[in-house]
């Protein structure tokens, strides 16, 4: 048998074992194995959007509408705002490829995503393209929370003000800390 075919099969098998192991480590119930392997699996699952959350299911489904935003304050005290993808702004066919990003933005406040929040803050700072003289910067991640309508009313009043809910805050001393 050709050694290249054997090497290719070995690489594919190795990838499948690692992929299935990461998925299992991520979705298994809380136990000692999950606690030891979750952070390692997260480095694979988060960037690819393969993670999951059970927030949409009973007994306590999420009822509020959340919009993730990042407020960046530079060294001169200037305030910059980065708004993440909001699927309500797109038609169904434009929203479909963005769904994983929305799912991440919706669940970023959960404890299991604490390690990924720093990546989110870095992304927001990179997207704004701040110059070197703007550093050090302070990045605050927060939600704009829209409450659901009262029972018996089909739609929420669009003029009802949203409340801000802080998720996390980070300090970046230089542009090098923000770049990948």
Tokens of 138: 């302070």
Helix (H) or strand (E) holding 127: helix 114-128
Query: What's the pTM?
Result: 0.65
pLDDT by residue (tens digit) across 84-93?
877 767 787 8
pLDDT for the residue numbered 100:
59
Contact by Cβ (8 Å): 168, 117: yes
pLDDT for the residue numbered 168:
92
Q: How confident is the model at residue 81 (pLDDT cuts 50, 70, 90)?
A: very high
pLDDT for the residue numbered 76:
92
**Which residues lie across from 66 on neighbouring strands?**
145
Question: Which residue has tokens 């299991």?
Answer: 112
DSSP designation for 64: S
pLDDT by residue (tens digit) across 3-14?
999 999 999 999
Measured distance CA(10)–CA(26) in Å, rounded? 24
Characterize 105-117 residue by residue with b for buried, 16 or more Cβ atoms within 10 angstroms of its Cβ, and e for exposed.
bbbbbeeebeebb
Tokens of 104: 């991440």
pLDDT by residue (tens digit) across 116-166?
888 889 999 999 988 889 999 999 999 888 877 777 777 777 777 888 889
Q: For the packed helices 3-27 and 32-48, what is the interaxial angle rounded to 10 degrees?
A: 110
pLDDT for the residue numbered 162:
84
CB under 8 Å, gap of 24 or more: what pairs does 126-134 form? 126/178, 126/179, 126/180, 127/82, 128/72, 128/80, 128/82, 130/72, 130/74, 130/80, 130/175, 132/174, 132/175, 133/75, 134/74, 134/75, 134/76, 134/78
pLDDT for the residue numbered 18:
93
pLDDT at 49 over 80: no
């Amino acid at each position: 048998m050709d050694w290249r075919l054997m090497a290719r099969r070995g690489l594919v098998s190795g990838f499948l074992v690692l992929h299935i192991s990461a998925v299992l480590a991520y979705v298994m119930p809380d136990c000692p194995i999950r606690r030891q392997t979750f952070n390692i699996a997260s480095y694979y699952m988060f960037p690819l959007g393969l993670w999951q959350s059970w927030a949409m299911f009973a007994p306590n489904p999420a009822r509020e509408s959340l919009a993730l935003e990042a407020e960046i304050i530079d060294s001169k005290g200037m305030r910059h705002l980065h708004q993440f993808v909001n699927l309500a702004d797109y038609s169904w066919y434009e929203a479909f490829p963005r769904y994983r990003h929305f799912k991440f933005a919706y669940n970023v406040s959960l404890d299991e995503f604490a390690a990924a929040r720093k990546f989110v803050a870095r992304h927001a700072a990179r997207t704004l393209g701040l110059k070197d003289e703007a550093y050090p910067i302070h990045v605050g991640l927060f939600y704009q929370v829209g409450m659901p309508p009262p029972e018996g009313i089909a739609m929420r009043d669009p003029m009802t003000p949203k409340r801000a809910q802080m998720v996390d805050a980070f300090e970046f001393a230089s542009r090098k800390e923000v770049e990948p």
